[in-house]
Amino acid sequence: MKKKIELIGATDVVDLPELGWYQVPVRVDSGAATSAIHCARVRLIKEGDTARLCFYLDVKKGAPEQSFTVSDFKETYIRNTSGKQEKRYVIKTQITIFGRKIRTEFSLANRKKMNYPILLGRKLLKGRFLIDVSQKDLSAKQNADKIRHKKQPDAEANPTLLIQ
Q: So what's the pLDDT on residue 164?
A: 39
Instruction: Indicate yes or no: pTM above 0.75.
Output: yes
The mean per-residue pLDDT over the stretch 76-100 comes to: 90
What is the per-residue pLDDT across 35-79, written as a single tens digit (0 to 9) for each? 999 999 999 999 899 999 999 998 888 888 899 999 999 999 988
In angstroms, the CA 69 to CA 46 distance is: 12
Contact 21, 63 (CB under 8 A): yes
Question: For the chain, what's the residue count?
Answer: 164
| Domains of the chain by residue range | 6-163
6-163: CATH number: 2.40.70.10
Q: So what's the pLDDT on residue 41?
A: 92
Q: So what's the pLDDT on residue 163?
A: 41
What is the per-residue pLDDT across 121-147, written as a single tens digit (0 to 9) for each? 999 999 999 999 999 999 988 877 665
